Amino acid sequence: MAVTSTHSGTVVLVLAVFLASTVEMVEALTIVLAVGVTRGWRSAIEGVLAALATLAALVVVLGPTLVHLVPLTTLRLVVGGLLLIFGLQWLRKAVLRSAGLKAKHDEDAIFEEEVAELTAAPPATGRDSTGFVVAFKGVFLEGLEVVVIVLTLGTTSHRLGLAAVAAGAAVVVVTIAGLILARQLSSVPENAMKTAVGLMLVSFGTFWSGESIGVHWPGSDLAIPVLVAFYGVVAWALVAALGGPAVAPAVVERAGEAPGD
Amino acid sequence: MAAAFGHFWWEFLIGDTPELFVGAVAVIGVVALVCLDHSLHTAAAVLLPVLVGGLLVGSAWKASRKRPS
């Protein structure tokens, strides 16, 4: 029973980190591809590598610091609260998009707009700082949300390494998919993935904030998938009540906007 | 970069949904008060997700009343 409950919590954790990282990296990849085709691949790749190194350094520095300096109960209360707020924002937006009340992302439109802006920028003499900065900013700002998720989920469950590996695997998968799909990123089922991430973040947030204030969860970690199912039903009913799945016009949104964007 | 970092945290916690921030803090506070009674620790396991679900419904309902973005 204990092994099963721990296993179920781990599976949900890995899925949450992997899906969140995938969604954010798809959005970052759109910007990187635009930089690559307009400003050259050297500056784009340098920007990506610099951003990934900075993000990894944040995890390496902040992760162990949080684990060793902050008591677990306090960590779970703060992290649980953050995940609850973060997850509710993701889930709310996903619900509104599913109900046709909020415009969905259009990666093709974002790509075209980035290309137009980068083409209009003055050509570089020597190293292309414009391409580097745009690629760095795109990956760093999108990746920052992933770092927060990795740190919060990883430290409170004492599985920081596993969470980091799941996020890294998503970066690799998205990179390979990006090379194969090239500019067909709009075919990625982004809103469905965001819904899943929102459900898992809210569930972890509920579980850990609850544990820190004295809630006794029946079945221990097994409560996490039950919470995911419960919030899934709430979200499904909400979409149905708000008008059901519908198609809303797509929208161009930039990196670093609100969680779930 | 510092401004972008600050902007990220503002959007992360508040964004365009301050009701979720305030609501989540209130929900945790209410359930913490309930848990002061040791006989209600298990009942709180039902109360907490129900209140969080209600928060989501309320926020989405409020957004649906506005013009679609």
A127-A133-A122 Cα angle (round to 5): 60
The answer to whether position A40 is within a domain reads yes
A111 C-beta neighbours (distance < 10 Å), count: 20
Q: Which residue range(s) make up the domain with A128?
A: 2-241
The answer to whether position A257 is within a domain reads no
Q: For A55-74, what is the mean pLDDT?
A: 85
The answer to whether position A69 is within a domain reads yes
B30 C-beta neighbours (distance < 10 Å), count: 15
CA A105 to CA A186: how far, in whole Å?
Answer: 8
The answer to whether position A256 is within a domain reads no
Query: In terms of C-beta density within 10 A (0-12 exposed, 13-18 middle, 19 or more buried), how is residue A255 classed?
Result: buried
- In the block, residue with structure tokens 């469905």: A192
Contact assignment for A217 to B45 by CB distance below 8 Å: yes
Interface test with A, best of B34, B37, B42, B52 (most A CBs within 10 A): B52
Least confident interval from A2-6, A81-85, A138-142, A151-155: A2-6
The whole-number pLDDT of residue A1 equals 46
Two tokens at A84? 């609850």
The answer to whether position A255 is within a domain reads no
Q: Please name every residue paired with A247 in a beta bridge, in sequence order, or none if there are none.
A: none
Compare all CA atoms of chain B with the CA of A239 and give the residue at the minimum distance: B60
Q: At what angle do helices B44-64 and B18-34 cross, to 10 degrees?
A: 160
Contact assignment for A85 to B13 by CB distance below 8 Å: yes
Our CA-based measurement puts residue B62 at a distance from the nearest CA of chain A, in whole angstroms, of 11
The answer to whether position A260 is within a domain reads no
| Segment holding A73, helix H or strand E | helix A72-98
Contact assignment for A85 to B44 by CB distance below 8 Å: no
Looking at the structure of chain A, the number of domains it has is: 1
> What ipTM was predicted for this assembly?
0.88
Compare all CA atoms of chain A with the CA of B68 and give the residue at the minimum distance: A101
Q: Does A257 touch chain B (CB under 8 A)?
A: yes
The answer to whether position A179 is within a domain reads yes
Two tokens at A64? 């162990």
The answer to whether position A258 is within a domain reads no
Our CA-based measurement puts residue B37 at a distance from the nearest CA of chain A, in whole angstroms, of 10
CA A101 to CA A93: how far, in whole Å?
Answer: 9
Task: Going from the first residue of chain B to its last (69 residues), give the mean pLDDT of each consecutive group of 10, the final group possibly shorter.
Answer: 74 85 95 92 94 96 74
Residue A258: φ, ψ to 5°? -60, 155
Return the SS3 of A105.
strand
Two tokens at A6? 């721990």
- Chain A CB contacts of B4 under 8 Å are 137, 141, 256
